[in-house]
Structure 1
Amino acid sequence: MTQPPPPPNQPPSQPPTPPGQPPQGGFGAPQEPPAGGFGAPQDPPPGGFGAPTPPPQDPAYGYPQTPPQTPPPTPPQGYGYPGQPGQPGQPGPQMQPQGPYAQQAPYGQQGPYAQQGPYAQQGPYGAPGMPGGPGGPAAPGGGRKPNRQLQIIVAAAVAVVLIIGGGIWFASSGGESDNDAKGGSSGSTEGGTGGGKGVEGGGSEKAPSNTKSTVGYQIPLPKVTDVTNVTGSWLTDTAYVKTGLNQIVGYDRDKGTQLWTIPLAGQVCAATRHVTDEKLTAIAFEPAKRTSSKDYQQCTEVGVIDLAAGKLVWSKSVQGSNSGDDKVRFSEITLSGDTVAAGGTDGGAAFAVADGKVRWKPEVSAEGCYDMGYGGGEGLVAARKCGSYDDPQVSIQNVNPLTGAVISTFKMPAGVSYAGIISTKPLVVAADVGDTATGGSSISDFFSIDEKTGKLRAKFPAGNMAAECGATEVEKCQHLAVGNDRLYLPTEEHDAPGEDYGDTNEIISYDLATGKTTSDRADAGGTYTISPLRMDGNNIIAYKRPPYDKGGEIVSIDGGSFKQTVLMRNPSEESVRDAETGFSEDYSEVLYGDGRLFISDVMLSEPSTASSRKEYLAVMFSVH
């Protein structure tokens, strides 16, 4: 299938899915969705991602230099694509699980079941994350590129090995920071149990008596004829809420039956992962439904939805002084306290959560300065751009959510066109300085900033880390977490020790006060790959993406000892495994909380008729 280019302010299309017959004996044949729900599951597009790539002809990083005498096991055909789950309200078979999938949780909502991000101090329940997972507008740049492995120095996994004290240091490929940090990742004692000065305990997620999950339910795809944004998913104590086609639907958290539907004037184009204690969150959407593939609508409407009551509390648009009578177009939206903030190339605007009253509007200035977007959660931080296209100047501004008054400003170095706000408290920013990011990454350096004064605490290179930020989006960083005044990052994938076929990696951390690596190290083990999802108190909730013959895992990593505790193991059956890994790692939203795992798409496209495989809008796993 040939997809049209994404419309303005829209994320890229999800990678297509390859043709082929689905595995037999999977989740069960799809059934009719509940009344008012989405249409029947659609065939996925051809092509795709997720299937292991055979070793290249010439030896390369990530593969054995000499073919083994016994051929390595061949992954099942179509690995990485959905199997045959059932429909909402129809629990899948009780299979032996092996671990979940989860996405970096969003930013910093502290209430129970609140959407969590991959960024700051997170509450007990997290989101895609996206993030989220989470979704992504045009020119995402946040996805991992195929040549990432070529950055790994195989002999030392991630870098040069030096014995220091009782630990192992991995020197990364980045240059020296302003603090003389080498950008390396330090290991701990064998097994990842040496956490240095980390903070122990404090998490609310506990291991169940039986960590083996079962398939709960699957939500079918809505019928679409063009690239369609379905960014947005949230979890409450009773409902799983997911963006659909021109609507937002609440499902019973455990059964998958529809609880309510919020119809919208048009397609959702942006959604925040933050949720208030009152279960309110914010979205941006188009003013009318699209009537054809060329009928693109501008993203001009801002609204707040009540996740508990299942209603649109308010919606409105604003006009900008520099846009005449036209409505201001937004590309991003976030939430901090009682303020909703939306930003884009037309300028920004802030609204009261309760009634939508406009709090402040930082318009595009005569010098061409405008707020590209905002980072929310515990604080509100703006990424503001000035200057020309060839000579941009980006500043990070900590602002008062109620008034828009600037509290502090940090000027990013020359050569930065966009910046990703990872956390607002503590303030952590990522950027590609002078297009020096390597291996297809969107990040060359991280910046730890004092949000009160705007002074730089530490700058350190990303090196061979596998975190990502959107190319143009401010609050779209993923595969990382911030807590205990540390930044937790996954290393790039490298050859799995003692394995003939497959890669692995580790989670390491940087001290935000010094920019230096700590002794923290959590190994994925085997041929799993691991990445942080969110913080759970002082602990890190992480997802282990599975190899071709196992299910994924959710683990809690103690912030002090860095000891891993398994919270969920997903089934290893082929059809179940295919459904788990069938979602793009960088273009899906994953929520994990209270023993329940939700994985969902953020971008849909018209299905292909060349394959009989089924795709799903979302799947759910549970240990209950």
Structure 2
Amino acid sequence: MTQPPDPRPSGSTPTPQGDLFQKQPPPVGGFGPPPPPRTPPHPYAYGYPQPPSTPPSTPAGRPGAPVVRIIAAAVAAIALIIGVGVLYATSDDGGGDSPAGTAADGKRGGSDASGSVSGSGFGAPGEEKVPADPAARLAFALPAPKVAPGHVDSVVGSWLTDRTYARAGVGEIVGHDPATGRRTWTLRLPGQTCGATKDVTKDALAAVVSENGARAADGRHRACSQITLFDVNTGKKVWTKSIGTGTAVVPFEEPVLSGDTLALGGGLHGGAALDIKTGRILWQPQSGTCEDVGYAGGAQLATVRKCGGRGQEQYEVQLLDPRTGRPQWTYQLADGVRSARVLSTDPVVVGVGTGEGAAGTVTGIIPMSATGRPLSTVSLDPDAYDLGCDVGRTDGCRKIVVGNGRVYLATRRHDGGPTGTTNEIVSYGLASGRLTGDRAAGGAYQVFPLRMDGGNVLAYEDGSFDKGVRVVSIDPRSMKQTELLRTPADDRAAYAVSGMVVGLTGSEVRYSGGRLFLGKALISGPASKDHKEYTAVAFTAGSRAH
């Protein structure tokens, strides 16, 4: 099959200099307040040069892509956070940054010259309504199919609309009535699922990547090469395809949606972008010294690229035109970065990992302007935060949410609270890179942000067996929590929730309109004859808001 011409030929390996973040040792004799940040020697000491007086020449292999090179410098490290007093002794007063381009009445205004960092709009009303009674019942639980002894099967994929809750099974996707769990349709796939879009289009379309055939009796996996686009409400297959043939078939992972484009990362094997309606190939990155590691979708499409061989990797982030693959800007990360992911695409916020174990965490956050310049840098101690980042994933972390000109994240549990340990949701201002005064305490629960709902932060709170779990809406001005749903505090509900590994690798959480759906991506055989395995459980608030 003839492939469309590649608008993004491979470029030369970038040559950034220096370390992006310089790790500071903790104070001797314990963990005191963090030292004051060092004053940068000039306005661009956090990693970007002054704009040239004349337009820069276009680098070879990057037509039309302005490149921003880091002049790396050390930034103040945030000391390990032990206890709430130390955390807030150094925060901004009054909530920190005001979102750029937001008017006094809370409505979105124009962006400034550095690019908007206003996220969803500070204080904008959310769509989730408060039920008359947030006390929920267990609506249904989906039993896991039988798994051969010693095997682990993949059931990656959960999608939710107002009409359907769809879940991947082994070699299939099944649509369910979201109120009762009744099966409404079944879509057969050639093999087990490997990756799925988190989002659904306005037309209720979603995509899944599956293996190209059933697994062998010994459990060996098949190539993750089959792409299927389907209607979540009806189960109708819109199209299915693979790229390449035979041993040259291209495997994919982590599909994302952006506008009318489906982008699929392929790592060493390259990626591809397809038209959602037709499945036509729009563009593919050209193999060479650099490769597209993966993509992050949503309002915009961004990619993380890796250049160089093993042990000499250097990373860059690009904002792409979803239809052509043409970079709108390229930002090259410094030496010492061992992993990179995109935490948000509107605005673009980059998370990087440095040092040992960097592949599964974030040690630094870089908010970007609309023109690809860093607005600030945030240095994080991974021992202080619970971020929910999966190894090898480009599209965000499960416990990091961006909105209101801030990045919201959960601290790790520490001493305090009514049960002896607790944690909080805190935030950093995108424009300043500083910790704000925002604080939503978990109290007797462990809390982490799920997603934005307008200007509100939706959060998941995991309690002990005698408390159940909650979904709350957090007001961005006061950080006051409003309970939207509370699961029963009984053994049956606790057992069902515990099997869903919420917040850990492979967990899938969907909440909308007083309904909470918890799913997991991998299943294995039961631990005992009396043990029941589920692929998903659903809870419905007692008097659901419509």
* Counterpart for residue 418 of structure 1: 339
Q: In structure 1, how many angstroms separate the alpha carbons of the residues matched to 2:73 and 2:412?
A: 20
- Structure 1 residues 80-121: Cα deviation after superposition (integer angstroms, max 9, x where no partner): xxxxxxxxxxxxxxxxxxxxxxxxxxxxxxxxxxxxxxxxxx
Over 3 Å counting, the alpha-carbon distance change for 1:152 and 1:205 in structure 2 is: farther
Q: CA deviation at 1:548?
A: 3.4
Instruction: State yes or no: 1:251 paired with 2:171.
Output: no
* Counterpart for residue 505 of structure 1: 423
* Counterpart for residue 540 of structure 1: 457
* Counterpart for residue 237 of structure 1: 162
Q: 446, 456, 460: which is aligned to 2:374?
A: 456
Instruction: State yes or no: 1:606 paired with 2:528.
Output: no
| Alignment gaps of 5+ in structure 2 | 1-24, 37-71, 100-121
Q: CA deviation at 1:617?
A: 1.0
Opposite residue 190 of structure 2, the aligned amino acid is A
* Counterpart for residue 362 of structure 1: 285
Q: 579, 586, 601: which is aligned to 2:496?
A: 579
Instruction: State yes or no: 1:278 paired with 2:278.
Output: no
Instruction: State yes or no: 1:558 paired with 2:479.
Output: no
Opposite residue 272 of structure 2, the aligned amino acid is A
* Counterpart for residue 319 of structure 2: 398
Q: Percent identity?
A: 37
Over 3 Å counting, the alpha-carbon distance change for 1:292 and 1:339 in structure 2 is: same
Q: CA deviation at 1:161?
A: 6.2
- Structure 1 residues 153-181: Cα deviation after superposition (integer angstroms, max 9, x where no partner): 9x99xx7569x9xxxxxxxxxxx985547
- The secondary structure found in structure 1 opposite 2:496 is helix
Q: CA deviation at 1:547?
A: 1.8
Q: 237, 251, 266: which is aligned to 1:329?
A: 251
* Counterpart for residue 233 of structure 2: 308
**TM-score of the aligned structures, taking structure 2 as reference length:** 0.76
Over 3 Å counting, the alpha-carbon distance change for 1:415 and 1:161 in structure 2 is: closer
- Structure 1 residues 521-541: Cα deviation after superposition (integer angstroms, max 9, x where no partner): 000112x11000000000000
CA contact (8 A) 1:399 1:406 kept: yes
Q: CA deviation at 1:515?
A: 0.8
Over 3 Å counting, the alpha-carbon distance change for 1:205 and 1:410 in structure 2 is: same
Instruction: State yes or no: 1:470 paired with 2:390.
Output: yes
* Counterpart for residue 220 of structure 2: 295
Q: CA deviation at 1:435?
A: 2.7
User: Which deviates more, 205-214 or 427-436?
Assistant: 427-436
- The secondary structure found in structure 2 opposite 1:456 is coil
CA contact (8 A) 1:420 1:469 kept: no
Q: In structure 2, how many angstroms separate the alpha carbons of the residues matched to 1:547 and 1:187?
A: 25
CA contact (8 A) 1:502 1:547 kept: no
* Counterpart for residue 214 of structure 1: 137
- The secondary structure found in structure 2 opposite 1:213 is strand
Q: CA deviation at 1:615?
A: 1.9
- The secondary structure found in structure 2 opposite 1:575 is helix
CA contact (8 A) 1:413 1:433 kept: no
Q: Root-mean-square deviation (CA), in Å?
A: 2.7
| Structure with the largest fraction of strand | 2
Runs of 4+ off more than 3 Å: 159-162, 176-189, 193-198
* Counterpart for residue 385 of structure 1: 306
Q: CA deviation at 1:309?
A: 2.0
* Counterpart for residue 127 of structure 2: 204
Over 3 Å counting, the alpha-carbon distance change for 1:177 and 1:257 in structure 2 is: farther
- Structure 1 residues 484-528: Cα deviation after superposition (integer angstroms, max 9, x where no partner): 11100001101224x4x54210000000111101110000112x1
* Counterpart for residue 491 of structure 1: 411
CA contact (8 A) 1:596 1:622 kept: yes
Q: CA deviation at 1:469?
A: 1.6
CA contact (8 A) 1:545 1:553 kept: yes
Over 3 Å counting, the alpha-carbon distance change for 1:234 and 1:288 in structure 2 is: same
Q: In structure 1, how many angstroms separate the alpha carbons of the residues matched to 2:73 and 2:480?
A: 30
Instruction: State yes or no: 1:318 paired with 2:239.
Output: no
Q: In structure 2, how many angstroms separate the alpha carbons of the residues matched to 1:325 and 1:582?
A: 38
Q: In structure 1, how many angstroms separate the alpha carbons of the residues matched to 2:365 and 2:73?
A: 9
| Alignment gaps of 5+ in structure 1 | 1-150, 165-175
Q: In structure 1, how many angstroms separate the alpha carbons of the residues matched to 2:326 and 2:474?
A: 38
Opposite residue 547 of structure 1, the aligned amino acid is S
Over 3 Å counting, the alpha-carbon distance change for 1:512 and 1:477 in structure 2 is: same
- Structure 1 residues 47-66: Cα deviation after superposition (integer angstroms, max 9, x where no partner): xxxxxxxxxxxxxxxxxxxx
Structure with higher RCO (Cα < 8 A, 6+ apart): 1
Q: In structure 1, how many angstroms separate the alpha carbons of the residues matched to 2:357 and 2:157?
A: 32
Q: In structure 2, how many angstroms separate the alpha carbons of the residues matched to 1:177 and 1:551?
A: 46
Paired residues in the alignment total 444
